[in-house]
A and B are shown apart, each in its own frame.
Chain A
């Protein structure tokens, strides 16, 4: 079963509904005991990085994530959830992240309209089972003001918005998607199907 982590920031129903559409049941929970039993975890999220980390700590969910990842089970971070996988963020200050993937979260430069919002394309730079049947230059739906800068070669796809940033990353059993697969029609649903099938 896929566990969707509720850390009290937003409406998670659309993520659950998207998994349902591709035939995989999931549950939403903020309870560490329930989430520990999940075969796969999804960390969604819209909101501020600092608040998100604080909520994860207060709710005892950071430990769940640590255990889940070290046991080798798949974890998918979406949007802010992807950014939380990294070492640290400069969103409204400087905050330590979950540090599963080496890298930083930075703000878009003032030369581009922020937030980066709308349909943009993914360019595949590294193949992976996560990208099965995902076409090069597929359009997906983004809403974000910060982007990740990985220090290692973990990028599966990149997206151009003034420059190229990592839009999907993978490191071992850890996956991150910067856009919203649950709002990205067929391509998004395919990614969720692939993650669920890993």
Chain B
């Protein structure tokens, strides 16, 4: 017999341990430019890093939990290239994957989901039109909607949201924006520290801690910035980090064991 709710009245603030049983996820995030995986540092200096479908197969075989493709070309004439990547990836991998970049309408979302993606990620379009988060969540379910936030430190304890691939600063405070997107219906947040992107210096834990504290499930990141210590980092389930940037993921060379957050 399955336990009912009566015996499981849980105080959210006191007993997160009982609620928070989802595994941490290792999610390689691949930037795709004109149908090829590219690797950059601080959002610039891109070099070719291979065929996206081959990379996806590799990560699936190595035990990655999910995958994210970000189409950094993100122009509408490039759409068919990305749809093809999505379709071929769906044929090859047996893990969930998210597609982002250039998605501006719920019809764009539908095209990607129908082609085989499990989730879609929106960034600039969500900032320009927050209604898109609501519409996407209503049409496809919150589990499909990931909002990517590119944040850059502007002063002590302050991060601003950048859009257009990090080229345009907005007025939005990253922490407030994270709270807002969750309220509007984002199922997950993918947070990128523009200051740390591709530098292999680890995550911006201060930023991470602040964002974690502002979304529904609170959690305290522990651990340092070494790649090997990620497994002890405490993250809330709606928080998707770019856990490992492409290059360090390969050079790390280790297989990943899923572990519980606690």
A residues touching B (Cβ–Cβ < 8 Å)? 11, 13-14, 17-18, 21, 46, 109, 111-113, 115-121, 139, 141, 143, 147-150, 153, 155, 158, 160-166, 180, 182-185, 188-189
Q: List 14 A-B contacts (CB under 8 A).
A: A14-B94, A18-B94, A111-B8, A112-B10, A112-B19, A113-B238, A117-B143, A121-B260, A139-B258, A148-B2, A161-B22, A163-B8, A165-B2, A185-B95
Judge whether A115 and B187 touch: CB under 8 Å.
Answer: yes
14 more A-B residue pairs beyond the given contacts A111-B10, A149-B2, with a C-beta to C-beta distance below 8 A: A13-B116, A21-B94, A112-B10, A113-B19, A117-B22, A117-B237, A120-B22, A139-B23, A161-B21, A165-B2, A166-B2, A185-B60, A185-B94, A185-B95
Residues of chain B within 8 A of A139, CB atoms compared: 23, 258
A-B residue pairs, 9 tightest by C-beta: A119-B23, A163-B8, A118-B22, A115-B143, A139-B258, A111-B10, A163-B3, A143-B143, A183-B96
Judge whether B10 and A162 touch: CB under 8 Å.
Answer: yes
Q: Complex Cα distance A119/B257, Å?
A: 12
Judge whether B258 and A115 touch: CB under 8 Å.
Answer: no
Residue of A nearest to B23 (CB): A119
Given the contacts A113-B237, A149-B2, A161-B21, A183 and B94 also touching, CB distance less than 8 Å:
yes
Give the secondary structure class of B's interface.
Answer: loop
Residue of B nearest to A21 (CB): B94
As a 0/1 sequence over residues 6 to 32 of chain B, the CB contacts with chain A under 8 angstroms (1 = contact) are 011110100000110111010000000
Q: Complex Cα distance A158/B116, Å?
A: 28
Q: Complex Cα distance A182/B143, Å?
A: 17
Residues of chain A within 8 A of B216, CB atoms compared: 113
Judge whether A150 and B10 touch: CB under 8 Å.
Answer: no
Q: Is B65 an interface residue (CB 8 A)?
A: yes
Residues of chain A within 8 A of B142, CB atoms compared: 115
Q: Complex Cα distance A117/B18, Å?
A: 16
Judge whether B96 and A141 touch: CB under 8 Å.
Answer: yes
Q: Is B169 an interface residue (CB 8 A)?
A: no
Given the contacts A113-B216, A113-B237, A118 and B25 also touching, CB distance less than 8 Å:
yes
Judge whether B5 and A184 touch: CB under 8 Å.
Answer: no
Residue of B nearest to A188 (CB): B94
Q: Complex Cα distance A118/B118, Å?
A: 12
Residue of A nearest to B97 (CB): A183
Q: Complex Cα distance A119/B21, Å?
A: 9
As a 0/1 sequence over residues 99 to 128 of chain B, the CB contacts with chain A under 8 angstroms (1 = contact) are 000000000000001111010000000000
Judge whether A118 and B23 touch: CB under 8 Å.
Answer: yes
Judge whether B95 and A113 touch: CB under 8 Å.
Answer: no
Query: Count of chain B residues with Cβ under 8 Å from any Cβ of A?
Result: 40
* Interface core residue of B2, B25, B65 (most chain A CB under 10 Å): B2
Q: Complex Cα distance A121/B24, Å?
A: 12
Given the contacts A118-B25, A184-B94, A163 and B217 also touching, CB distance less than 8 Å:
no
Q: Complex Cα distance A139/B216, Å?
A: 24
Residues of chain B within 8 A of A184, CB atoms compared: 94-95
Q: Complex Cα distance A111/B65, Å?
A: 26
**In the complex, what's the smallest C-beta–C-beta distance from A90 to chain B, in angstroms?**
13
Residue of B nearest to A18 (CB): B94
Residues of chain B within 8 A of A183, CB atoms compared: 94-96, 118
Residue of B nearest to A117 (CB): B143
As a 0/1 sequence over residues 177 to 215 of chain B, the CB contacts with chain A under 8 angstroms (1 = contact) are 000000000011000000000000000000000000000
Q: Complex Cα distance A189/B61, Å?
A: 13
Q: Is B4 an interface residue (CB 8 A)?
A: yes
Residues of chain B within 8 A of A165, CB atoms compared: 2-3
Residue of B nearest to A164 (CB): B3
Q: Complex Cα distance A149/B169, Å?
A: 49
Given the contacts A14-B116, A143-B143, A189 and B94 also touching, CB distance less than 8 Å:
yes
Given the contacts A139-B258, A162-B10, A164-B2, A120 and B21 also touching, CB distance less than 8 Å:
yes
Residues of chain A within 8 A of B188, CB atoms compared: 117
